[in-house]
Amino acid sequence: MGFCSGDCLKGCFCNGKNLLTILTVVGILCGIALGITLRSIREDEWTPRECVYVKFLGEIFLRMLNALVIPLITSSLVSAIGSSDVLPYVVVLEAWKMSLENVEGTNIVGLVTFSTILGITLGKMGPKGKPLLDFFTSLSEAMIIITEAVVWLI
């Protein structure tokens, strides 16, 4: 009997909903195996140049994700806060909790404050603020698509 049979159409492994999770776990296991293999075939220390070759793809991936942080947070917060009729205190409080985490090189507190104020202002402007709010909503959706593309790319 195989890993996936015809009975599991409603199951969690065959329908593709968990494909990214499964591939992530497989990637981690492959990385562990590759690390053990590379360490065992080499008796002396790695040179800094060889370490750069191994770290290269990981560095590019992390830099791409870091480049997505600011537009993703800003557009999502402005869109969520501005498009609701009642001020979503839960969203604001969660954003503030998240902003207290220290992200190196990014002023998250300032970013969340600006996004919150802009979202509230656009929400209160009504029809006049609708075009800019629509822009942030579209930007938020675009940033989610770009983030998915970056995650699936590497």
Half-sphere exposure of 72 (CA within 13 A, CB side): 12
Residue-wise pLDDT tens digits, 52-87: 887 888 888 888 888 888 899 899 989 988 887 666
Closest among 35, 144, 30 to 80, alpha carbons compared: 144
- The pLDDT value given to residue 143: 92
Which whole number is the average pLDDT over 16-44? 83
Instruction: Tell me if 84 sits within 8 A of 133, measured CB to CB.
Output: no
Distance (Å, whole) CA 136 – CA 116: 13
Percentage of the chain beyond pLDDT 70 is: 74
